[in-house]
Amino acid sequence: MTEEKYHYFDMPLGELPEPTPVSARRRELARELAAINEQLVRLDSDEAALAAATEQARALRQSLEGFSHRSMRDILGRLIVGQGSRQDALDMADFEILSGPANAMSPPVTFWLDGDIVRARATFGRAFMGPPGKVHGGVLSLALDMLLAKTQDFVSNVGMTGTLKVRYMAPTPLHTEVSFEARLVRLEGRKLFSEARVFADGVQTVAADGIWISSQGDYRLKPEYAHLTDDSDVA
Ligand SMILES: CCCCCCCCCCCC(=O)SCCNC(=O)CCNC(=O)[C@H](O)C(C)(C)COP(=O)(O)OP(=O)(O)OC[C@H]1O[C@@H](n2cnc3c(N)ncnc32)[C@H](O)[C@@H]1OP(=O)(O)O
């Protein structure tokens, strides 16, 4: 049986392959590390308990240092020509900042496509605090950068963030489910315009809009999203 091949431009949000045993273990380890980080924030423990925990953490780190890292350049190189393996596809998404389930820095934020809307949800813990009891604005900005970037799922090209404007309208609470939504507004040559909103407890807390610049010529809508406008006059 030949292994299925994955293409970078044919990996819709929320439709990743089943994790390999290695990926499942990385995710499990990352969740433990993230939980330890969350537990550590202002932990009111005695010094001896912290010294013992530090020794355990050091031993864990040293046990992993003998392994090398799979090359992102090689992984992307295979995916971009449609020759990515299941492990390549998982490695591409599993370590994304804030959303990757195998990234210990991720809350994680979960993204999915809902028709023409990109949605996300996350519950941010103590490690993501800005003002007391509230999510750090920079963390929300990062989440919005990622969310808006995923409106590129509607087009056949990919690019980098050119401009991201964020308006903080109300504090966003920690330990509360936060929901995000984004939509593609219009395409204009190599520029993709999109906008997003953030809600917590039924209140809109942030509004954002962004411009993405394609790295490979003009943005074009995928055929299945042809009903989305690429008319620059429509906002
Ligand atoms: C394959 C797998 C990859 C995989 C890619 C995976 C991407 C993951 C990205 C994760 C998110 C990030 O962190 S991205 C990292 C943060 N962003 C960056 O570092 C970007 C740094 N900036 C740049 O590298 C550059 O300035 C670019 C690429 C954005 C644009 O440079 P350029 O390609 O020379 O474009 P240029 O000809 O000047 O302009 C083209 C058109 O875009 C407009 N324009 C140019 N810059 C901007 C801008 N910042 N904001 C708005 N609009 C802009 C121009 O007015 C022009 O409009 P007109 O005259 O045609 O009307």
- The CATH number of residue 231's host domain is 3.10.129.10
Domain region containing 81: 1-105
pLDDT for res 235: 37
Residue ending a domain, among 89, 105, 121, is: 105
> Is 54's C-beta closer than 6 angstroms to any atom of ligand 1?
no
Measuring from atom 8 of ligand 1, which residue has the nearest CA?
160
Query: What is the distance between the alpha carbons of residues 154 and 193, in angstroms, rounded to a whole number?
Result: 12
Same domain? 203 vs 120: yes
Q: Quick count: other Cβ atoms within 10 Å of Cβ 76?
A: 15
Buried b (16+ CB within 10 A) or exposed e, 13-30: beebbebeeebeebbeeb
Residues 212 and 114 both lie in one domain: yes
Report which ligand 1 atom has the smallest distance to the Cα of 216: 1
- By most ligand atoms within 8 Å of CB, the mutation choice from 160, 187, 215 for ligand 1 is 160
- Ligand 1 centre to CA of 132 (Å) is 35
User: Do 167 and 64 fall within a single domain?
Assistant: no
Burial class of residue 31 (count of CB atoms within 10 Å of its CB; 0-12, 13-18, 19+): middle
Which ipTM score applies to this complex?
A: 0.89
* pLDDT for the residue numbered 2: 72
Of 105, 138, 154, which residue sits at a domain end?
A: 105
Looking at the fold, whether 121 and 228 belong to one and the same domain comes out as yes
Q: Which of 54, 83, 105 is the last residue of a domain?
A: 105
CA of 157 to the centre of ligand 1 (A): 13
Instruction: Report how far ligand 1's centroid is from the alpha carbon of 187 (Å).
Output: 14
State whether 163 and 229 are in the same domain: yes
Which segments of the chain have a pLDDT < 70?
1, 12-14, 230-235
What pLDDT sits at residue 104? Answer: 96
Same domain, 155 and 221: yes
Q: Are residues 141 and 214 in the same domain?
A: yes
Say yes or no: 54 and 133 in one domain.
no
List, in sequence order, the alpha helices (H) in the chain. 21-40, 47-64, 72-80, 86-94, 137-149
191 lines ligand 1 (CB under 6 A): yes
> How far is the centre of ligand 1, averaged over its atoms, from the C-alpha of 149 (Å)?
12
* Entry pTM: 0.90
- The Cα–Cα gap between 190 and 198 comes to 27
Question: Are both 117 and 172 inside the same structural domain?
Answer: yes
What domain count does the chain have?
2
Cβ of 217 less than 6 Å from ligand 1 = no
